[in-house]
Amino acid sequence: MKEYFPMISKVKYEGKGSKNPFAFKYYDAERIVVGKPMKEHLKFAMSWWHTLCAGGADPFGTTTMDRSYGGLTDPMDIARAKVDAGFEFMTKLGIEYFCFHDADIAPEGKTFAQTKSNLWEIVEYIEQKMKQTGIKLLWGTANCFNSPRYMHGAGTSCNAHSFAYAAAQIKNAIEATVRLGGKGYVFWGGREGYETLLNTDMALELDNMARLMRMAVDYGRSIGFEGDFYIEPKPKEPTKHQYDFDAATVLGFLRKYGLDKDFKLNIEANHATLAGHTFEHELTVARINDAFGSIDANSGDPNLGWDTDQFPTDVYSATLCMLEVIRAGGFTNGGLNFDAKVRRGSFTFEDIVYAYISGMDTFALGLLKAYEVIEDGRIDEFVKQRYISYTEGIGKDIKEGRASLESLEKYILENDAVQMQSGRQEYLETVLNNILFG
């Protein structure tokens, strides 16, 4: 069989002293960290779209990366070659999961019937490869944003025919996910938003988006899908305003429509940046609402207002992310999907290898550092002490629901000198630096 990544055989852990660009410096898959192997803490996944499809096009220029897999022209031949290349890549890197959109794995046909048969042919091929390699599906999704038929949205389209088309696509994408044993199904509202309120019935659009999700849950459960549905929040791009703005907005939506039992959140770092939040903020909101599900690991550029989907290299951010994952009890059905792409100028297959090695090493280091933060204990202890006033006296009464405005007024009349404590942010930042950099 043709080899697409001849520059590597199995990528191994060589430790932080290694200068081998094709070796892991921190990611040691089988190393036991607090009771389980690193690979189970991290559950890395390959994104089919960025890794095997994206050609580096941007609004100002055409593709820079050859994704013809050796000059193939027939879209189904290319689809099969992507399966070969993807499984070769994952096997060599030791990545045990992948994620896909229907449109990434199989080309659209002239009719929907043709699209469907293309999809199922490739799904069967993927299934064989999964059996041979033991690689698993993390989540599937449907691309209901690329085609012109979704120019006004999919579930939120003003056009019921577009809604119906999206439903048909989602039905097949869920079936494919179930068939491949995926434990997650993602809704990223690609064009579920608006450009101007002058032409938008927001109430109907949101009701319809919820209707589509309800149909997906009902259908998924009816064919035996026991995993999690996810919404992936993002505030803007491609629409000016995306309805799934951020974690808090999505939680309000899910609760309003009674979808919160079936849906969790897939938090993406760059989307948090676009919403004006930190990655860890979005993860915390998900965790404290029992909605933490999965992660799209990447990074954005804080100086830009769009989604750059860069590979994550910031250990500080990865540490704070992994702290949240640990606090949430670790991944169950979810994992860490590299929803990230190499830069337009990094156009060779070798660059994809460097990118994944760097992302995997970053999160491996983040995992180790997060456990060091916990073991060190200074930060957790500080937070505990900061709220100590709620463990006794009037604070305990407030926390346990025994206080009222009257009882608190009575208390203040007798104790009106409030003593304050410092938040010690600068000190805590030095503690974190000390743990990260020694």
- Partner whose footprint covers residue 262, from Co ion, ligand XUL, none (CB < 5 to 8 Å by kind): none
| Smallest distance from ligand XUL to CB 191, Å | 11
Whether residue 229 contacts residue 217, with contact meaning beta carbons closer than 8 Å, is answered with: yes
Q: According to CB under 6 A, which residues from 392 to 411 bind ligand XUL? A: none
Q: Helical H runs in 8-74?
A: 38-42, 48
Rounded Cα gap, residues 381 and 273, in angstroms: 29
Beta-carbon count within 10 A of 207 CB: 14
From the candidates 101, 152, 277, 281, which is the catalytic residue?
Answer: 101
Q: Which is it for strands 36-37 and 32-33: parallel, antiparallel or unpaired?
A: antiparallel
φ, ψ of residue 296 in degrees (nearest 5) = -100, 105
> Is there binding between residue 307 and ligand XUL (CB under 6 A)?
yes
| Residue 101 is among the residues annotated as catalytic for this protein | yes
> Is there binding between residue 268 and ligand XUL (CB under 6 A)?
yes
From the candidates 28, 102, 104, 361, which is the catalytic residue?
Answer: 104
Task: Select the residue interacting with ligand XUL from 102, 262, 280, 296 (CB under 6 A).
Answer: 296
Question: Which range, of 75-83, 296-304, 310-318, 388-396, touches Co ion by CB under 5 A?
Answer: 296-304
> Is there binding between residue 339 and Co ion (CB under 5 A)?
yes
Name which of 154 and 373 has its Cβ closer to Co ion. Answer: 154
266 contact partners, CB below 8 Å, separation of at least 6 = 139, 184, 186, 188, 230, 231, 232, 293, 294, 295, 296, 334
> Is there binding between residue 228 and ligand XUL (CB under 6 A)?
no
CA dihedral sign of residues 300, 12, 39, 138: positive
Peptide bond into 238 cis (omega under 30): yes
| Residue 218 is among the residues annotated as catalytic for this protein | no
- Partner whose footprint covers residue 307, from ligand XUL, Co ion, none (CB < 5 to 8 Å by kind): ligand XUL
Residue 379: its H or E element:
helix 378-386
- Partner whose footprint covers residue 234, from ligand XUL, Co ion, none (CB < 5 to 8 Å by kind): ligand XUL
> Is there binding between residue 361 and Co ion (CB under 5 A)?
no
Structure tokens at 165: 């088309």
**Radius of gyration in angstroms for the set of CA atoms belonging to the chain, rounded to a whole number:** 24
Task: Select the residue interacting with ligand XUL from 43, 116, 191, 234 (CB under 6 A).
Answer: 234
| Smallest distance from Co ion to CB 268, Å | 4
Rounded Cα gap, residues 47 and 53, in angstroms: 10
Name which of 115 and 141 has its Cβ closer to ligand XUL. Answer: 141
310 contact partners, CB below 8 Å, separation of at least 6 = 270, 298, 299, 300, 301, 340, 341, 343
> Is there binding between residue 188 and ligand XUL (CB under 6 A)?
yes
Quick note: the x/- pattern for ligand XUL over 124-143, rule CB under 6 A, is -----------------x--
> Exposed, middle or buried, 206 (CB in 10 Å: 0-12/13-18/19+)?
middle
Name which of 117 and 146 has its Cβ closer to ligand XUL. Answer: 146
Q: According to CB under 5 A, which residues from 259 to 278 bind Co ion? A: 268
User: Which residues does the annotation mark as catalytic?
Assistant: 101, 104
Q: Give the footprint of ligand XUL on this chain (CB under 6 A).
A: 101, 141, 186, 188, 232, 234, 268, 296, 307, 339
